[in-house]
Structure 1
Amino acid sequence: MLPPILKNLRIPVVGSPMFIVSGPELVIAQCKAGIVGSFPALNAREKDGDPIQLDLWLTRIQEELDRHNQANPDRPAAPFAVNQIVHRSNARLERDLEICHRHKVPIWITSLGAREDVNHAAHDCGGIVLHDVINNTFAKKAISKGADGLIAVAAGAGGHAGPESPFALIQEIRAWFDGPLLLSGAISTGRAVLAAQVMGADLAYIGSRFIASDEAHAEPAYKQMIVDSGAEDIVNSAYFTGVPGNYLMPSVVNTGMDLALLGTGDPSKMDFGSASAGHSDKPKAWSQIWGCGQGIGAVDAVEPAGAIIDRLAREYAEAKAAVSAL
């Protein structure tokens, strides 16, 4: 069962928070177009002595969405979400939790750790918590610690993706959990959004498709590489951050590295204390080694996020009509 805040979206989609790439411009565009927009709290960074960027970003997002809603009462914006990296290397976590609590962030997405105090902070300000998981064991742990919903990060997803088939992962979670369930993994079309729902998910979780958007904080070369690449251009490796992730193979090759020589990663070396997570003697994910999922074969141009969502909505409606006709 979906909580009210996740109902009445234009299409059942959450734009996933992408490290470095997601910012206020993308979130605002996604929400105005009718899907949940999100960003990692760690993307909002400032130099010592400067105003706190997370506070400024949240104020900007809330004010712009409020203006949109006042001007468009018949087409209000979707809610937004903030992603918290719940990992011991995130020294900013407590500060960022306080800021999100003060701004009454409506949707909290948690990653790399399930903590009761984080869930309590979200609930205390009226928010809900969606926790991303890569297997059924982690899913049960997250719900036992108070998360409201789950994001099943299956094989083919961008960034730190799990190894399991979406069919297997959704099936196992749905065997015991009837709450909000999102699916992440190579979803780039409206037909894939409907397929995720038929499989048992409530909403689709889409990230890589929005890297090639005008509003994304990504280098032009990164966006163009998304357009030029397909599923066969994705390489999975734990070498860069210590946890298996999916990356654009051409970006690895561009650093001069030999793909055949990539070693295994060390989870103890994970570090979210800087914008470029990774080990100091390696090319940095995500600034040099670009994360991406396997669904990018559907991407053929860099365009505004609103246009991407318009296309997803058309494809979703067409897919529903086609399935109904079977």
Structure 2
Amino acid sequence: MALPPILQNLRIPVVGSPLFIISNPDLVIAQCKAGIVGAFPALNAREKEGEPIMLEAWLKRITEELDRHNQANPDNPAAPFAVNQIVHRSNARLERDLEICHRWKVPIWITSLGARVEVNEAAHDCGGITLHDIINNTFARKAIEKGADGLIAVAAGAGGHAGAQSPFALVSEIREWFDGPLLLSGAIANGRSILAAQAMGADLAYIGSPFIATDEANAVPDYKQMIVGHGAEDIVYSNLFTGVHGNYLKPSIARAGMDPDNLERSDPSKMNFGENREKPKSWKEIWGSGQGIGAIRTVQPAARLIDTLAAQYADAKAEMRKIVNG
């Protein structure tokens, strides 16, 4: 099945995943101008009581800046952008944010932690498509049954809220019944891995952690340097911090006074994505990361990172052609 037009003609088959706190208009705009889909969580756009709605301001800036770029570069238009909605009962902003995204005709809607028919209908009503992230085949079927256009398979090794299944198993099971848009997330940090995701059966790679170590990312310098200086063995998988299992940097956990190899388990029923949620102050600088960061060795502009990924991807395709052709 062909990809929807909005996901075709990307410079490389990559979506920059929406990073909690870290993804902002600067990063999204840089990603889109460099030829990949840029994305941010709607909940990243926060305002104090009485201030103008920040999500509205972010969408206005992104839309207008990408429009100006496209008018000035008709032969090299920007890729589309996406907004991530946390579809969980604790997200009290969801209805408001859906209305704002509908009004701004957001082209790609990424949904997480809950598949709801009305969210997909809102996206379709304004001409958008929905991609739902899942960690197993059961959730994948439910998402498509409720009207999602495509799936993001969040496999073992992915940053943030990640599954525990091998990408080989997860993609294979989904492709037995689903021929629509399929993205793969999980330790993808170079061009070879992008091509490998496609060889497995995915259409696009979903890349997050490498973009933490970019100039545009809303991450403190220590966080960026921790990404640059560590690798897969420095990641721990835990549900303590949000109630949902995710991957985190061990050094940041240790610095908060905890033993990263002996963390307690959390009660998933206490999961809370509301703006007034409480968590220990010591958790403020516990940082998420996927296992692919061993490939990241410098903090750089997002466009330069994408240039590197594109060159690596082209080289990997050339090498595979030689292998296939004997």
- The bucket for the TM-score relative to the shorter chain is over 0.9
Query: Where in structure 2 are the equivalents of 1:1-326 lying within 5 Å?
Result: 1-274=2-275, 280-281=279-280, 283-284=282-283, 287-326=284-323
- 3-state SS in 1 of match to 2:31: helix
What's the TM-score once normalised by structure 1's chain length?
0.97
Alpha-carbon shift at residue 192 of structure 1 (Å): 0.3
Is the contact between residue 84 and residue 111 of structure 2 (CA under 8 Å) also seen in structure 1? yes
Deviation per CA, 1:247-302: give whole Å up to 9, x if none: 00000011011224311111112111138x6x534743xx4210000000000000
Counterparts of 2:239 and 2:30, CA distance in 1: 32
Is the contact between residue 10 and residue 35 of structure 1 (CA under 8 Å) also seen in structure 2? yes
- Consecutive unaligned residues of structure 1, counting only runs of 5 or more, are none
Letter in 2 for 1:316: Y
Counterparts of 1:283 and 1:176, CA distance in 2: 45
- 3-state SS in 2 of match to 1:51: coil
Deviation per CA, 1:65-96: give whole Å up to 9, x if none: 01100111110000000000000110000000
Deviation per CA, 1:217-271: give whole Å up to 9, x if none: 0010000000000000000111111111100000001101122431111111211
Is the contact between residue 240 and residue 283 of structure 1 (CA under 8 Å) also seen in structure 2? no
Deviation per CA, 1:22-64: give whole Å up to 9, x if none: 0000000000000000000000000001010000000000010
Deviation per CA, 1:152-206: give whole Å up to 9, x if none: 0000000110000000000000000000000000000011000000000000000
- 3-state SS in 2 of match to 1:8: coil
Counterparts of 2:141 and 2:281, CA distance in 1: 34
| Superposed CA RMSD | 1.0
Percent of paired sites with the same residue: 74
- 3-state SS in 2 of match to 1:211: helix
Is the contact between residue 236 and residue 261 of structure 2 (CA under 8 Å) also seen in structure 1? no
Letter in 2 for 1:324: R
Counterparts of 2:282 and 2:44, CA distance in 1: 19
Letter in 1 for 2:65: E
- 3-state SS in 2 of match to 1:303: coil
Letter in 2 for 1:252: I
- Consecutive unaligned residues of structure 2, counting only runs of 5 or more, are none
Aligned length: 322
Counterparts of 2:155 and 2:290, CA distance in 1: 10
Is the contact between residue 83 and residue 108 of structure 1 (CA under 8 Å) also seen in structure 2? yes
Counterparts of 2:280 and 2:229, CA distance in 1: 29
Is the contact between residue 212 and residue 301 of structure 1 (CA under 8 Å) also seen in structure 2? yes
Letter in 2 for 1:319: A
Counterparts of 1:42 and 1:321, CA distance in 2: 41
Counterparts of 1:66 and 1:316, CA distance in 2: 28
Counterparts of 1:22 and 1:167, CA distance in 2: 28
